[in-house]
Structure 1
Amino acid sequence: MWYLDSGCSKHMTGQKDLLSIYTEKFCGNVRFGNDQFSPILGYGDVIQDNVTITKVSYVEGLGHNLFSIGQFCDKYLEVHFKAKRCSVCTKDGKELLVGTRKSNLYTINLSKVQTDNQVCLLSKASLQQSWLWYQRLSHLIFHYINKMVTGKLVKGLPELKYEKKHLCAACEKGKMKRATHKPKPEHSTSSPLELLHMDLCGPMRTQSINGKRYVLVIVDDYSRYTWVKFLRSKDETPEVIISFLRTTQVNLQKPVKLLRTDNDTKFKNKTVEDYLESVRITHQFSTARTPEQNGVVERRNRTLVEAARTMLSQSDLPLFLWAEAVSTACYTHNQSIIHHRFSKTPYALINNRTPRIKHFHVFGCRCFVLNDRENLNKFGPKADEGIFIGYSQTSVAYRVYLKKSKTVIESVNVTFDEEVASEQSSSEPVLTGVLASG
């Protein structure tokens, strides 16, 4: 019979015959309640059926077998006391040992422990032992070392509980990884324009047909509505940001409260900061070399670039039309991507109306645009053949690349031949030879 004691710091017994693998060693003295002392002459393991209690001290003259409550707690176990019973449990609530109360003593009978509960109450290994086996096992994490002990998966490893008291400098140098960035449990914003994410993508190796090499991507945190602005150089960034903020706040009749960007000088400069301070917009920066903190716009950047690359590849158009492809992808995604929080499109969330997409056409398909720009003779063709490359951002019109003049025009008088685009995926592109010279 074993008793629970909150005063002793070790499991102790006065019956030497209970101990197996006994080690004779003087480990100090124990003071009893009558102020008498008794020596700890050694220690061993108590093994009874499926219960193993390691490093139990042998105290000469001790009349009871004592479990240390403190030692249970040091092993990350929980000890529960009720009116007529007590229990020793794991963190997940599994009962390892159960005892009963007799008068004012709680006792545990090891012979009554259920045979399907495999219990191994391990003593803590010393710091030197822990790090010795840690290095012997090639810096294996302590969780797996303890798992090998409790599951008896290997032989020769002392049955102790191994703990990591401090960092291993070698592991930090050899195994260091980036910090995880878990998604927020709650949404940061409750209305459009409350928070805007910005990032500048570029420079592109091929400049666009209008001489642009950078694209500024702006994402509204609440609706995920996206804007794209194309720049010739990074120096234009402050001017474009200020112009965008002024125009957007007027168009949507809502104030911008917070701006989040990376730490690059294109965003962190006196021109931008002076303007934001004058209109009382807070500017937040992500930590250097930590793009995950500005992940909303970084992910949208990747989505737009991948969509544009796919559209150019499918239509077999030249790379100088990359800006048109990015703009078209942004335009269609705003009206088609479903926001998982609201089950609505970004366009519906920011404009409070359902988008219409009947006018959508296949990017890169052949089209014909009315020629109302030149004086034609009586029998001249009334339409020019072109390639559909997107939608106008300033008016209700389509953008068409004219093959004859190699220019881009905007017009509503356009007819489309989308069947050609569908055939291009399985046969040689019809437009390849025409655009090669462009």
Structure 2
Amino acid sequence: MHLAGIESEWVVDTAASYHATPVRNFFCKYVTGDFDTVKMGNSSYSKIVGIGDISIKTNVGCTLVLKDVRHVPELQLNLIYGIALDRDRNENYFANKKWKLTNGALVIAKGVARGTLYRTNAEIYRDELNAVREEISVDLWHKRIGHMSEKGLEILAKKSLISFSKGTTAKSCDYYLFSKQYRVSFQTSFERKLNILDLIYSDVCGPMEVEFIGGNKYFVTFIDDASRKLWVYILKTKDQVFQVFQKFYVLVEKGTGRKLKRLRTDNRGEYTSREIEEYCSGHGIRYEKTVPGTPQHNGVAERMNCTIVEKVRSLLRTAKLPKSFWGEAVQVACYLINRSPSVPLERVWTYKEVSYSHLKVFGCRAFAHVPKEQRTKLDDKSVPCIFIGYGDEEFRYRLWDPVKKKVIRSRDVVFRESEVGIADDILEKVKKQNGVVPNVITISSTSNHPRSAESTANEVAEQGEQPDDYVEQGEQPDDEQVEYPTHVEQQSQPLRRSERQRVEPSKYPSSEYVLINDEGEPESLKEVLVHQ
């Protein structure tokens, strides 16, 4: 139903409790839910099925946004709560059967009394609606929450944790299809535990084809059976599983005050060490190892690893980042999985409401604020980066600076979620802004004569080609910064010849030197003594 330009009549009522309307399509921002009931004029009660904002164009041409309007389908009139308008520094005037809403010298709306009610006419203003729908579209939420399924988004919307237009469906996402193709699931009859830490599943995934920072190739997961909460740790080798499990055990028991009762893993070597068995026995943990060849008994951990890898594949492909960023993508996937529709949303672990407002699209362009202690008067106040994750503390972001090749943690960040996969563009733009030009050029040559860098650069320019190997002015290698491993093949460098001028030896005269050369090299000490 298209309502742009359609007039609607509103009743200005100072005795009402809030703005209200029976028309759902008037709203430009809307949240569904059960928001109690409202008492009608005939003493009956009607349900409030939603709350939102409505943008109207008044009869004097001004735009007025009505905040927190209640959606009451059984209501017969559109109500404007006069006192609510006063809270926005407006003023209501009722005199001579006329109503006027002003803000200083500006008249915002007018109305007249008909019968016992003051009424005004207004048009539904659609520009505000279009802006809001674009901001909270289902496709944007699909990208923000790591390519979550449409069913999961609908569950979050029903819980009023996210909002988007009702009845809209997500567009076909190629990255989602590239990452997910399932086989028939293995049906089990296991029942989920009632209390947290009654059973923990664990499994190791790896090795990855590309190393993460520090040579890490694996990650290990721990999943609580009751709540399905996930913890993930990056490993360099499989023998670090026992050390990580000790940290995890202290973390969950100190954080919840409950005892870990059972640990279930597969029967691989990293879980069959005597250290783990003795540690579990000493702390009263029942250690369960599945039967060899039956991964279905540890299916929760196996499926979780599959889910994480699929999300990592989607995140990296969307962001157009190299595979060496898989560790950052794994941590982001874990962070988003713990915010999927499950028991943790009901305050099982943190006893706090789950927030989604700080989530951003992985790999999007971000601008991190540079503190004044780290810049001079004329330096830029922000640095372009790539968003790669969330920090340990709440609302702190992890960013990657592609120019300095280092990770930055910052709270003061401006995001551009529509610009994804632009790491190469940032490098090119920074080079152009800094005016970087080649300083020293090394090109292999068959000639033995030294050649200057300037002459070589001129020859290359005349041929219309750019040299492959050169050092840019102002760029120095930084050994202290940790760089992500790359797969660029190192080209063999030509031998560097000395340009120093050759000087004949002064110990022997040139005549004797030539004489010895003419007669040939001496073959014995006796021949040498004869020449003396």
TM-score scaled by length of structure 1: 0.53
1:274 aligns to what SS in structure 2? helix
Q: 2:229 aligns with which of 225, 228, 235?
A: 225
The answer for unaligned runs of 5 or more in structure 2 is 1-184, 429-484, 487-532
How far apart are the structure 2 equivalents of 1:189 and 1:365? 39
Contact 1:213 1:231 in 2 (8 A): yes
Report the counterpart of residue 183 of structure 1 in structure 2. 188
Report the counterpart of residue 380 of structure 1 in structure 2. 379
Of the two, which has the highest radius of gyration?
1
How far apart are the structure 2 equivalents of 1:194 and 1:433? 50
Displacement of 1:394: 5.0
Aligned residues between the structures: 246
Cα distance change on mapping 1:229 and 1:394 into 2, 3 Å: farther
The answer to whether residue 322 in structure 2 is matched with residue 323 in structure 1 is no
**Which deviations, in whole Å up to 9, do the C-alpha atoms of 1:139-193 show, x marking residues without a partner?**
xxxxxxxxxxxxxxxxxxxxxxxxxxxxxxxxxxxxxxxxx96322x62411111
Report the counterpart of residue 261 of structure 1 in structure 2. 265
State the one-letter code of the partner of 2:316.
L
Displacement of 1:433: 5.6
Report the counterpart of residue 431 of structure 1 in structure 2. 423
1:351 aligns to what SS in structure 2? coil
Cα distance change on mapping 1:373 and 1:235 into 2, 3 Å: farther
Cα distance change on mapping 1:272 and 1:387 into 2, 3 Å: same
The answer to whether residue 287 in structure 2 is matched with residue 279 in structure 1 is no
Report the counterpart of residue 215 of structure 1 in structure 2. 219
Contact 2:391 2:409 in 1 (8 A): yes
Cα distance change on mapping 1:242 and 1:347 into 2, 3 Å: farther
State the one-letter code of the partner of 1:215.
F
How far apart are the structure 2 equivalents of 1:279 and 1:361? 41
1:25-424 superposed matches below 5 A = 182-184=187-189, 187-336=191-340, 338-339=341-342, 344-345=343-344, 348-372=347-371, 375-393=374-392, 396-421=395-420
Contact 2:362 2:387 in 1 (8 A): yes
How far apart are the structure 2 equivalents of 1:378 and 1:371? 12
Contact 2:345 2:353 in 1 (8 A): no
How far apart are the structure 2 equivalents of 1:268 and 1:193? 21
Displacement of 1:350: 2.9
The Cα RMSD (Å) is 2.2
Contact 2:220 2:234 in 1 (8 A): yes
The answer for unaligned runs of 5 or more in structure 1 is 1-179, 422-428
How far apart are the structure 2 equivalents of 1:210 and 1:357? 32
**Which deviations, in whole Å up to 9, do the C-alpha atoms of 1:44-97 show, x marking residues without a partner?**
xxxxxxxxxxxxxxxxxxxxxxxxxxxxxxxxxxxxxxxxxxxxxxxxxxxxxx
1:277 aligns to what SS in structure 2? helix
Displacement of 1:395: 5.7
Contact 2:345 2:354 in 1 (8 A): no
Displacement of 1:201: 0.3
Contact 1:208 1:321 in 2 (8 A): yes
How far apart are the structure 2 equivalents of 1:326 and 1:431? 20
How far apart are the structure 1 equivalents of 2:372 and 2:289? 49
Contact 2:358 2:395 in 1 (8 A): no
Displacement of 1:308: 0.8
2:253 aligns to what SS in structure 1? helix
How far apart are the structure 1 equivalents of 2:216 and 2:197? 27
1:266 aligns to what SS in structure 2? helix
**Which deviations, in whole Å up to 9, do the C-alpha atoms of 1:108-134 show, x marking residues without a partner?**
xxxxxxxxxxxxxxxxxxxxxxxxxxx
1:273 aligns to what SS in structure 2? helix
Contact 1:318 1:435 in 2 (8 A): no
TM-score scaled by length of structure 2: 0.44
Displacement of 1:347: 6.7
Cα distance change on mapping 1:217 and 1:401 into 2, 3 Å: same
Report the counterpart of residue 55 of structure 2 in structure 1. none
**Which deviations, in whole Å up to 9, do the C-alpha atoms of 1:178-234 show, x marking residues without a partner?**
xx96322x6241111110000000011111134321100111000001010001111
Contact 1:238 1:271 in 2 (8 A): yes
